[in-house]
């Protein structure tokens, strides 16, 4: 039976005494008519592609067609070499990796949409950075990515994960929830803690608009990846110490959908409102598109 809600997922996990990643890989194997091992190989391919995107992004300063973005990750790395982050090495890696991946997307490099291209830096940065610093094996990273995918899939049963449908809460917001759940899985958390982390991350980003300047996935999109990757870590750490969302995760996802429906169309990827209509944004638009 298809898992359409987080309550279904929770019940299946408890009834069968299986972690979320195991349920996910078994469901995918059955759906695709392949073995679980083959599912894990496919997930490993995604994980490898994510690591390549981080690596390529870290070594490039090439800017996009607008000339606005592409070297922020390099600036961050240089700063950390001179002045380490107050939050430590893991924080440094997460923020740098998130920018590196998002900037690689800007350059039309190969990335993994998770769940979208505009939010592609959030899940990889958290999984890869923490795995490196905590010496977490590749098998656990695959488990984490399967967990993240399941969270994104269930939310997508309720609302399309696109800024044009429900704003950036449905892109970077859901990516943050996915990353939070993945991190709890990597750190040995139980099903309930994973779901609480995802709920905490998602409910605290409700209402996030999608208002890209000049219609490009650059401003504010790229730097937003770094912010929401850190947001995911906060949610995970809260959940791991027993802090819970008073509103169940299924209800949070329902509210995300309703919030998207209530959101003005000018704030849903049309670039006709919000940051995209500020004085500076309009001036940038004139220069970029050579408008009078």
Q: Is the dihedral of CA 53, 54, 58, 63 positive or negative?
A: positive
φ, ψ (nearest 5 deg) of residue 210: -115, 100
Instruction: Look at residues 53, 155, 40 and name the one whose alpha carbon lies nearest to residue 109.
Output: 53
What's the pLDDT tens digit per position in 45-94?
Answer: 999 999 999 999 999 999 988 999 999 999 999 999 999 999 999 999 99
1 pLDDT more than 60:
no
Q: Domains, the chain, ranges and CATH?
A: 6-289 (1.10.4100)
**Is pLDDT larger for residue 177 or for residue 290?**
177
Cβ neighbour number for residue 74 with a 10 Å cutoff: 18
237 pLDDT more than 70:
yes
* Interatomic CA distance for residues 260 and 171, integer angstroms: 12
- pTM for this entry: 0.97
* Helix, strand and coil in the chain, % to nearest 5: 70, 0, 30
Confidence at 292, pLDDT banded by 50, 70, 90: low
What's the pLDDT tens digit per position in 264-285?
Answer: 999 999 999 999 999 999 999 9
């Amino acid at each position: 039976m298809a898992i359409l809600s987080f309550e279904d997922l929770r019940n299946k996990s408890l009834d069968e005494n299986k972690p979320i990643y195991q349920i996910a890989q078994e469901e995918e194997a059955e759906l695709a008519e392949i073995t679980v091992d083959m599912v894990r190989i496919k997930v490993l391919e995604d994980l490898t592609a994510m690591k390549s995107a981080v690596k390529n992004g870290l070594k490039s300063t090439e800017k996009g067609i607008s000339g606005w973005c592409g070297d922020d990750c390099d600036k961050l790395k240089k700063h950390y070499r001179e002045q380490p982050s107050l939050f430590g090495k893991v924080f440094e890696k997460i923020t740098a990796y998130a920018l590196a991946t998002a900037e690689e997307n800007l350059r039309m490099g190969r990335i993994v949409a998770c769940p979208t291209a505009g939010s592609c830096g959030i899940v990889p940065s958290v999984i890869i950075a923490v795995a490196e610093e905590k010496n977490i094996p590749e098998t656990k990273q695959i488990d984490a990515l399967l967990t993240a995918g399941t969270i994104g899939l269930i939310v997508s049963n309720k609302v399309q994960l696109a800024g044009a449908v429900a704003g950036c809460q449905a892109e970077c917001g859901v990516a943050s929830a996915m990353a939070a759940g993945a991190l709890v899985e990597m750190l040995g958390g139980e099903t309930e803690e994973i779901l609480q982390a995802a709920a905490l991350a998602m409910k605290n980003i409700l209402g996030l608009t999608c208002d890209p300047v000049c219609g490009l996935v650059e401003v504010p999109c790229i730097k937003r990846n770094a912010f929401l990757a850190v947001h995911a870590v906060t949610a995970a750490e809260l959940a791991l110490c027993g802090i819970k969302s008073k509103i169940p995760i299924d209800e949070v996802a329902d509210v995300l959908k309703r919030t998207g429906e209530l959101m003005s169309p000018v704030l849903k990827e049309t670039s006709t409102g919000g940051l995209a209509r500020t004085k500076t944004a309009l001036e940038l638009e004139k220069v970029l598109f050579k408008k009078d």
